[in-house]
Structure 1
Amino acid sequence: MQQQLKPKSSTRRLATVSLIFMAVGFIASLPFKENNWVFWLQSGFEAGLVGGIADWFAITALFRHPLGLKIPHTNLLPKNRERVIESIVQMLEKDLLNKESIVEKLRHMTLADRFIKLLRSIVLLPAFRSTVTELLTGILHKLPKEAILKVVDDRISDTVKAYPSKRLAERLMGLNEERRLDELAIDQLLGYGQRLLEDPVIRDQIGRLAYHAMIDQEKNTFLRVTAKTVQKVYSEERLSLVIQSVLLSVIEDMKQVHHPNRLAILDHVRRNLAQLTQDEERLAKIDQWKAAEVDRFDMQPVLNRAYTAGIEELKTYLASDSFWENRALPLMNQALNEWDQHPTFKQESDRWMKDQLVRFVDQNHQKIGGLVRENLNRFDTETLIHMIEDKVGNDLQWIRVNGAICGFFIGLILGGIKLFIG
């Protein structure tokens, strides 16, 4: 503030010094007015003094009474405050910000091109990325979780219930033909059985069960002799090893792709699966079982965990460089390119933006003057005077300086004329 006031104070000082200089020169030349050269200079000082005083009076009269004297037609700005404000408002509304000129200017502008260019620069700003990320994250937090989970739960239940078991069986049969699911299932079961039999604990348990089963069969007359014979030959431990060896041998045989037992089992599975697609009674029972199980199963805990994990993963993804570089920015640029290269849409959007701006100007043009009037009326007269002097006071003081200097030279000219004629 002090730096701004220094040149204005120096200009005011210069104007005062110029006036004092003219006054001193005029007074000092009075005793020597008989001398032609002094008389000639006195004329310049006199005219400069008059010009300086006249300009000081005129400038001062704009803002206040000169020397506090209530001379008519002085203190012009305070007296005509309302008229001045209204003149400023009228000048803005009718001349500087004329509604028709604004509308005409808008109609000759290509707003769509400028808007597309602006958007291309905005999407690259880090602030835009952080703002959009924060906005998307906020939307995720405000999603109605309970309502979403209920809708998903209901949709899953309805979908499972409505899906026909016949179509499910047909789909299963088709997948089985494409991917050999039955063979994969048999191999998995055989592998699992082999691992169980190779476990010493399971092996001993099987032998123990078989040994006690033979003891129980002694009550059966037909098996009594066989059971006693086996008990004499095999101990419980040895019987376990024999049974293990036999079962492992059977499993190894079943692993062979062309083994008859394996082919028989696969054929049985496939025929039953094909028959299932035509057995309406069994399909109806499957539908009933499916509906009952769906109603019995509580999916809320599963869906709740999946929802929470999904939201966290989505938040991380939205803030990642991968999302912005591979998804968001390419998608935005593609949309802007399509807008820019689509002549019809571009023309229509340009027309729409112009119509909106024209409508806005039409609806709010009068508010510009009202806003200016309201802001000016907020200041008291002294503040307005200070603001004007702060902005144009420099130039006004130079008027005083110029008035004194011009008056001085004009006085010299007039004095020379008097001497020449006299």
Structure 2
Amino acid sequence: MTRAAPLARFNPAQPGARGMKIAATGLLVAMAATYFTARAFEPAYPWLAWVKAFAEAGMVGGLADWFAVTALFRHPLGLPIPHTAIIPRNKDRIGEALANFLKSNFLIAPVVARRMRKLDLAAAAGRFLQAPQGEENRIRQGASRLIADIFEGLDDERLGGLVKTSIATRVRKMEVAPVLGGALASAINEERHVPMLEAAIRWTARALDANEGLIRDMVKKRTNWVLKLAGVDTRIGDSVIEGMRKLTVEMHTDPAHPVRVKIEQALADLANDLQRNPETQARVEEWKNQLLDNRSVGLWMDALWERAREAVIKAARNPDAALAGKLGEVLKSMGQSLEKDERIRAAINQFARRAVAGLAASYGSSIVTLVSDTIRSWDAQTITDRLESAVGRDLQYIRINGTLVGGSVGLLLHAFDTL
């Protein structure tokens, strides 16, 4: 595997760690100075034996802890003493241990599911949707800008073609005849077809009035010259027009009119054929494919996509306007439902648990491998600096405590020996 370049190296002597290191080293030097001073003046001042005992034990404890802390990260004084520079020599094993820890405690599906049972994501989403205006403004504006930039940055022609192809493919795969038949049958059962039928009758009456002259001309053209001489063609035209006008009026006023009943029966038969007749369904599918292949439909879908794209960009560029008014009320209502409806909240949380647990089961091993490979690719100095930077301050506290505890123990031993 290609060796990765070292990451930006941390400075182990950060302000806090540097100060603690100076304090620990200074305390050790002070213990040494105190020891030698007390030893020099002890003959003249016997009570300095207590000070010497404290300083001597503190110096030993400080030196021991300095050696232990230094041995974790490097060779003390640069000497290749066995079992020192522990972290640089064992970085690969540390990486494996860290990766296994992540896998065992975080990236196993049952563990993830168990931990996520404590999280109520649905309620959190509900509170976010109900948040007063301004609290979620930054997130909303950032997401809106991202959406707008994506739609503006993508190749419009290619993206539009992809959308149209996807829609056309889905429509081609869908059998529209049973859907149309079911919709028509439902409309007939609920009598929702009656307003459309009456509108068609009214349209026929208006069309008859508007084309009365055309009907008379058609009758006159189809009447022989003998009848024309007798003026019968005019009376025939009047009769035809009057009969059709009477028919439309009767159909409009009489729901049980025979012609109207036949039309309704024809609609019911059509609904039945659309749902059950293979020949009718085949004809509808053929018409559907011809319609999708029509160039005018393609141009209409182009215009529809362009309007939708412009609407999305416009709304994303002005998220406050898009989420104002009724849409904002809808989102707030959704938030209230998420927070108060336990059934909906439980369903959403269960879906989230399963989704995250599925991701852990599918990609947990890959994440573990990534962690171990990344640590293995670091050079020894990089990982040493990273760990020392993270815990260096506490390690210097260990040196200070070791010095003071050692001195206290030395003082107790001197007291035991004296008394």
- In the TM superposition, residue 70 of structure 1 has moved relative to its aligned partner by 2.5
- In the TM superposition, residue 72 of structure 1 has moved relative to its aligned partner by 2.7
Q: What residue is the counterpart of 1:104 in the other structure?
A: 114
Q: What residue is the counterpart of 2:241 in the other structure?
A: 270
AA aligned opposite 1:90: N
Q: What residue is the counterpart of 2:81 in the other structure?
A: 71
Alignment of 1:170-209 (within 5 A): 174-175=202-203, 177=205, 179=206, 182=209
Q: What stretches of structure 2 of length at least 5 have no aligned partner?
A: 1-9, 172-197, 214-233, 249-293
Q: What residue is the counterpart of 1:400 in the other structure?
A: 399
Q: State the alpha-carbon separation in 2 of the partners of residues 81 and 409 from structure 1.
A: 37
Out of 8, 12, 18, the position equivalent to 2:21 is 12
- In the TM superposition, residue 97 of structure 1 has moved relative to its aligned partner by 5.9
- Report the identity percentage: 24
| Alignment root-mean-square deviation, CA | 4.9
Q: What residue is the counterpart of 1:62 in the other structure?
A: 72
Q: State the alpha-carbon separation in 2 of the partners of residues 183 and 98 from structure 1.
A: 77
Q: How many residues get paired?
A: 301
Q: State the alpha-carbon separation in 1 of the partners of residues 64 and 409 from structure 2.
A: 14
Contact 1:85 1:373 in 2 (8 A): yes
Q: What residue is the counterpart of 1:82 in the other structure?
A: 92
Contact 1:32 1:39 in 2 (8 A): no
Instruction: Tell me the secondary structure at the aligned position of residue 359 of structure 2.
Output: helix
Contact 1:89 1:373 in 2 (8 A): yes
Instruction: Tell me the secondary structure at the aligned position of residue 47 of structure 2.
Output: helix
Q: What residue is the counterpart of 2:57 in the other structure?
A: 47
Q: What residue is the counterpart of 2:374 in the other structure?
A: 375
Contact 2:38 2:49 in 1 (8 A): yes
Instruction: Tell me the secondary structure at the aligned position of residue 125 of structure 1.
Output: helix
Q: What residue is the counterpart of 1:410 in the other structure?
A: 409
Higher mean alpha-carbon deviation, 53-62 vs 334-343, is at: 334-343
Q: What residue is the counterpart of 1:126 in the other structure?
A: 141
Structure 1 residues 377 and 343: CA distance shift in structure 2, 3 A: same
- Residue by residue, what CA displacement relative to the aligned partner does 1:380-401 show, whole Å, maximum 9, x if unpaired? 1111111111111111112212
Q: State the alpha-carbon separation in 2 of the partners of residues 316 and 382 from structure 1.
A: 54
Q: State the alpha-carbon separation in 2 of the partners of residues 74 and 21 from structure 1.
A: 26
AA aligned opposite 1:67: L
Q: What stretches of structure 1 of length at least 5 have no aligned partner?
A: 152-169, 187-262, 278-299
Structure 1 residues 60 and 327: CA distance shift in structure 2, 3 A: same
Q: State the alpha-carbon separation in 2 of the partners of residues 90 and 180 from structure 1.
A: 82
Alignment of 1:257-296 (within 5 A): 267=238, 270=241
AA aligned opposite 1:383: T
Query: Per chain length, whose mean CA-contact separation is higher, i.e. which structure has more relative contact order (CA < 8 Å, sep 6+)?
Result: 2
- In the TM superposition, residue 112 of structure 1 has moved relative to its aligned partner by 4.6
Alignment of 1:251-262 (within 5 A): none
Alignment of 1:150-169 (within 5 A): none
Contact 1:93 1:99 in 2 (8 A): no
Contact 1:99 1:361 in 2 (8 A): yes
Instruction: Tell me the secondary structure at the aligned position of residue 399 of structure 1.
Output: helix
Contact 2:59 2:403 in 1 (8 A): yes
Q: State the alpha-carbon separation in 1 of the partners of residues 114 and 303 from structure 2.
A: 56
Q: State the alpha-carbon separation in 2 of the partners of residues 83 and 306 from structure 1.
A: 64
Structure 1 residues 79 and 87: CA distance shift in structure 2, 3 A: same
Q: What residue is the counterpart of 1:216 in the other structure?
A: none
Q: What residue is the counterpart of 2:41 in the other structure?
A: 32
Q: State the alpha-carbon separation in 1 of the partners of residues 340 and 415 from structure 2.
A: 79
- In the TM superposition, residue 33 of structure 1 has moved relative to its aligned partner by 2.6
- In the TM superposition, residue 50 of structure 1 has moved relative to its aligned partner by 0.9
- Residue by residue, what CA displacement relative to the aligned partner does 1:184-215 show, whole Å, maximum 9, x if unpaired? 999xxxxxxxxxxxxxxxxxxxxxxxxxxxxx
Q: State the alpha-carbon separation in 2 of the partners of residues 33 and 88 from structure 1.
A: 54
Q: Which has the larger radius of gyration?
A: 1
Q: What residue is the counterpart of 2:31 in the other structure?
A: 22
Q: State the alpha-carbon separation in 2 of the partners of residues 367 and 9 from structure 1.
A: 38
Instruction: Tell me the secondary structure at the aligned position of residue 34 of structure 1.
Output: coil
- In the TM superposition, residue 407 of structure 1 has moved relative to its aligned partner by 2.2
Structure 1 residues 16 and 120: CA distance shift in structure 2, 3 A: same
- Residue by residue, what CA displacement relative to the aligned partner does 1:129-178 show, whole Å, maximum 9, x if unpaired? 45556667855586559x99xx9xxxxxxxxxxxxxxxxxx99985363x
- In the TM superposition, residue 37 of structure 1 has moved relative to its aligned partner by 0.9
Q: State the alpha-carbon separation in 2 of the partners of residues 112 and 185 from structure 1.
A: 67
Contact 2:107 2:360 in 1 (8 A): no
- In the TM superposition, residue 356 of structure 1 has moved relative to its aligned partner by 2.8
Instruction: Tell me the secondary structure at the aligned position of residue 72 of structure 1.
Output: coil
Instruction: Tell me the secondary structure at the aligned position of residue 14 of structure 2.
Output: helix
Structure 1 residues 182 and 364: CA distance shift in structure 2, 3 A: closer
- Residue by residue, what CA displacement relative to the aligned partner does 1:212-235 show, whole Å, maximum 9, x if unpaired? xxxxxxxxxxxxxxxxxxxxxxxx
